[in-house]
Amino acid sequence: MQIQENISLITFHTFKLPVNAQYFIKVDTLDVLKDALSFAKQNALRILVLGEGSNVIFCDNFPGLVIKIALQGQTLVAETEQYYQLKANAGENWHNLVCDCLRKNYFGLENLTLIPGTVGAAPVQNIGAYGVELADVFHSLTAVHRETLESIVFSKSDCQFGYRDSVFKQQLREQFVITSVTLNLYKDPVLETSYAGLNKKLRELNQTITPKLIFEVVSQLRQQKLPDPQVLANVGSFFKNPIISVEQFARLSVNYPDMSHFRGPSGQVKISAAWLIEKSGLKGYEKNHVSITKQHALVLANDGKATPKSLFEMIDYIQTTILEKFQISLEVEPFIYP
Ligand code: FAD
Ligand code: NAP
């Protein structure tokens, strides 16, 4: 087992902050994973399980062991009349999996193209985009308990998937390492085209809709709207879309009749966080190497010299501005460490 000490995390997360891990290990087998978990337990170290770091930010150095998941491989485990059941190990790149599946005519992942990160992280926040979420194709996952090292299978209902949410963000947060995910992929195309932006583009194209066309259109939309983290350091959407009461929405609509909103859970209203930021005149604002990108108001970026301090000052500035203007608290979407 090769545990390294005092390792820079700058290349291991897409916001590229200059922070270090006290200890770091890349795990590519289950045995190495279990050895690493035992090492952390023996030395009473905090653990951070890291995929590709596309949904994490740091407020400081990480005082503990960072376990970078590099478990590779895919297996077709079963086939029914309706589905191919594919098991992918946690370190596989999500977008590569989407491309492989489309090539093999295993359908259902087309709308989820170009989401950065690993397969193992996908269930943590039930990744979703353009009207589809992981839960729609999910069968089960296997995870190792961080303390007991026992491997446990979680069914779909065990995962308690919600909107960008799962049991791994709630009751079981920081307790398991997901080692593989099994998906039910359709043999016949199931075309999900209801998402407004996607639907509009497909109607303009006026072509026969196929999974490949959806894949191409979603890829195009994403490339137009989102800065590539390889080029400009970012973590995608920085704030969650806030959910407010119908009463608060009614009060705000008097002054802001054009407020972008959708039906939220339990009869509440979901507001577009991007709209709130844009309406506050913050789009394009930058300070101390952190910017609210001109491309997308929900995406913050690091020009290469940002620090945890400058990022957290920007977060505070945005949250305070939105609170004062709309009486809405914006919640940060990526996980904050340590
Ligand atoms: P990391 O950032 O490394 O980890 C995220 C969290 O999951 C951490 O708490 C980590 O401890 C935990 N974790 C990671 N791997 C495991 C594991 N194997 N076992 C247990 N816990 C684990 N998300 C969407 O839902 N939809 C989008 O459309 C979308 N678009 C994005 C666009 C951009 C440009 C970027 C940068 C991000 C976007 N995201 C989106 C967020 C991100 O891609 C997803 O959350 C992704 O699943 C994170 O994967 P990761 O491997 O980078 O996870
Ligand atoms: P968009 O199409 O400009 O829409 C803005 C927001 O409105 C999105 O957050 C979306 O919520 C919401 N929305 C749109 N249509 C909706 C509907 N019919 N019902 C409920 N909510 C609706 O969004 P975008 O920023 O370009 O992103 C496109 C898709 O990619 C979205 O699904 C978004 O979640 C996803 N994405 C996610 C991240 C991330 O880091 N998490 C980053 C980039 C893109 P939803 O977010 O609930 O879809």
Convert the pLDDT of each residue in 270-326 to its tens digit: 999 999 999 999 999 999 999 999 999 999 999 999 999 999 999 999 999 999 999
- Does residue 7 carry a pLDDT above 90? yes
Reply yes or no on whether 286 is catalytic: no
**pLDDT category of residue 243 using cuts at 50, 70 and 90:** very high
Rounded distance from Cα 278 to ligand 2 centre (Å)? 15
d(CA 81, ligand 2 centre) in Å = 33
Structure confidence at residue 265 as a pLDDT band (50, 70, 90): confident
Q: Phi, psi (5° rounding) for residue 292?
A: -95, 110
Q: Which amino acid is at 196?
A: A
In the residue annotation, 310 being an active-site residue is answered as no
Q: Averaged over 242-271, what is the pLDDT?
A: 95
Which pLDDT band, with edges at 50, 70 and 90, does 266 fall under? confident
Measuring CA to CA, which residue among 330, 314, 290 is closest to residue 16? 290
* Confidence (pTM): 0.97
Q: What is the mean pLDDT of residues 189-217?
A: 97
Question: Which residue ranges have their beta carbon within 6 Å of ligand 1?
Answer: 14, 48-56, 69, 90, 115-118, 120-122, 124-125, 127-129, 164, 177-178, 226, 229, 234-236, 335
The rounded Cα 165 to chain-centroid distance in angstroms is: 10
φ/ψ of residue 35, rounded to 5: -60, -40
Q: What average pLDDT does range 181-201 have in this prediction?
A: 97
Give the pLDDT band (50/70/90) at residue 176.
very high
- Ligand 1 atom closest to Cα of residue 120: 18
Average pLDDT over residues 242-253: 97
Ligand 1 center to residue 277 CA distance, Å? Answer: 23
Mean pLDDT, range 83-112, rounded to an integer: 98
Q: Please report which confidence band the pLDDT of residue 40 belongs to, taking 50, 70 and 90 as the band edges.
A: very high
Handedness of CA 253, 258, 263, 269 (dihedral sign): negative
pLDDT at 1 over 90: no
Cα–Cα distance measured from residue 94 to residue 236, given in angstroms and rounded to the nearest whole number? 15
Provide the Cα torsion 321, 332, 157, 214; round to 10°. 90
Mean pLDDT, rounded, for 112-139: 98
Q: What is the 3-state secondary structure (H, E, C) of 107-158?
A: ECCHHHCCCCCECCCCCCCCCEECCEEHHHCEEEEEEEECCCCCEEEEEHHH
CA of 237 to the centre of ligand 2 (A): 9
Ligand 1 nearest atom to the CA of residue 335, by list position:
9
Average pLDDT (22-48) is 98
Q: Coil, strand, or helix at residue 41?
A: helix
244 pLDDT band (50/70/90 cuts)?
A: very high
Q: What angle do CA 294, 221, 69 make, to 5 degrees?
A: 90
Q: How many residues does the chain have?
A: 338
Q: Integer distance in angstroms from the first to the last C-alpha of the chain? A: 24
Return the bridge partners of 302, or none.
233, 290
Catalytic residue among 164, 192, 222, 278, which? Answer: 164
Give percent of the chain with pLDDT exceeding 70. Answer: 100
Tell me which of 54, 140, 166, 237 is the catalytic residue: 237
- Residues 248 and 262: their CA atoms lie apart, in Å, by 14
Domains contained in the chain, CATH given: 4-69 (3.30.43.10), 74-186 (3.30.465.10), 233-337 (3.90.78.10)
Query: % helix / strand / coil in the chain, to the nearest 5?
Result: 30, 30, 40
Confidence of residue 165 (pLDDT cuts 50, 70, 90): very high
Which backbone phi and psi does 101 adopt, to 5 degrees?
Answer: -65, -40
Q: Any idea which ligand is nearest the CA of 269?
A: 2
Annotation says 164 is catalytic: yes
